[in-house]
Amino acid sequence: MQDGRVTVGRTLRTNWFLGVLVAFLIALPFIVAELTGSSPYGIERGSRIIMRGESAFWMALLIEVFALTVFVMSYNLMFGFTGVISFGHALFFGLGGYTLGMLLQYTALDPNLALVLAVLLTLVLTGLSALLIGLATLRLRGVYFAIFTLAVAEMVWIFVGRWAVTNGEDGFAIDRLPAWIDPSSNRLTLYYIGLFLFVFTFLFIRRIVNSPTGSVFQAIRENEDRARAIGYHTLRYKLVAIIIAGMMAGGAGMLHGILNKKIGPEMFSVSYTVDALLMTIIGGVGTFTGPVIGAAGLHLTETLTRDIVIPLGFTSLRVGDSWLLIQGLIFVIVVMVFPFGLVGTWNRLRMRFRRRPAQAATKSSGKNVKSAG
């Protein structure tokens, strides 16, 4: 019993910041509502509820952040912790969105039943797709696997973009969402669902990486030949990593689709995968909080500064119109100043400063031994 209390106390001490952050996010809609005089429940307009005001805006923005961070964390599990680089991870993101949209919009099922089936079917489809892609290609290494996954995702993107059933490249809107999760009338519920998905994904990834399976993931990342030589079936472990990552990306795609109430072939676009790769590198490859910081930081920066106009001599620069250029500059600067990403570089500096007192103590004890001799 005492050991259990010690373990709980240690867990609370080491994760106090995460606890405070989650508590802040839980209270944020009401904090913003109190500060701005808006309502997190929306505004009654006749028989309808309309989501207006600062509280509704921040909830929508953070739901986007939750979906994006889940997607980036899933990519980091595969790339950062297992060493499997993919250029087609958006395939699973798009599968989640399209599975949800088609079950809600193209069937006569009750919306609540369709939503439950969409969650289950997304897990099955993304897991099965990841398994088939992995079995077919994970024996390839490095850029060859990355190019193959890119080709698969692009083929699906082209097919969906020309599929008349879902209006091709125009996509389709979702207007049959259950009222309790519809962001147009009940955004607070969707906000807490997104927050739960974000926290669950973070804790699940940390748990699996800190398990024996996660140790094998990292051994494969460092040296797959050596991991195979000591007896591990590396293909099997890489399949596990890509299947879990694919399922998580599918969940992120569903959350994205529910928030926007719009599904389109751009969800399969390689730009989503490239953004996930850049955000992982900026935050810190193979770290837990790095992808969160990279994804949230870049998305919030883009959204909150897109209307800022920067005067440049005889011309001016509107941040929103030049965001790709600015994002590229941010990436170059971060890679040059923080070669291991923001969190990765910080962790290495912290370890270095911690070693110095120990090294100094070792040297002084060695001198004392010599003088005594």
Q: What is the mean pLDDT of residues 310-337?
A: 83
What pLDDT is recorded for position 220?
Answer: 93
Among the ranges given (41-45, 66-70, 95-99, 133-137), the one the predictor scored with the smallest mean pLDDT:
41-45
Query: Are residues 234 and 117 in contact, defined by beta-carbon separation less than 8 angstroms?
Result: no
Residue 276's Cβ-side half-sphere holds a number of Cα atoms within 13 Å equal to 33
Query: Are residues 126 and 250 in contact, defined by beta-carbon separation less than 8 angstroms?
Result: yes
User: Phi, psi at residue 227, to the nearest 5°?
Assistant: -60, -40
Map out the domains of the chain with their CATH numbers: 18-306+323-339 (1.10.3470)
- Alpha-carbon distance 12 to 354, whole Å? 22
Q: What is the mean pLDDT of residues 148-155?
A: 91
SS3 content of the chain, % helix, strand, coil (to 5): 75, 5, 20
The candidate with the shortest Cα–Cα distance to 275, out of 309, 247, 306, 249, is 249
**Structure confidence at residue 19 as a pLDDT band (50, 70, 90):** confident
SS3 per-residue string spanning 138-187: CCCCCHHHHHHHHHHHHHHHHHHHCCHHHCHHHCEECCCCCHHHCCCCCH
**Structure confidence at residue 5 as a pLDDT band (50, 70, 90):** low
Residue corresponding to tokens 């509820």 = 49
Q: What is the pLDDT of residues 49-98, one digit of tens each?
A: 788 889 999 999 999 999 999 999 999 999 999 999 899 999 999 999 99
Q: What is the pLDDT of residues 167-221, one digit of tens each?
A: 999 999 999 999 899 998 889 999 999 999 999 999 999 999 999 999 999 999 9
DSSP summary character for residue 87: S
What pLDDT is recorded for position 1?
Answer: 47
What pLDDT is recorded for position 265?
Answer: 95
Say yes or no to pLDDT of 324 above 90.
no
What pLDDT is recorded for position 326?
Answer: 85
Q: What is the pLDDT of residues 305-319, one digit of tens each?
A: 888 887 877 777 788
Say yes or no to pLDDT of 320 above 60.
yes
The answer to pTM > 0.95 is: no
- Alpha-carbon distance 95 to 85, whole Å? 19
Say yes or no to pLDDT of 245 above 50.
yes
Q: Report the percent of the chain where pLDDT is more than 70.
A: 90
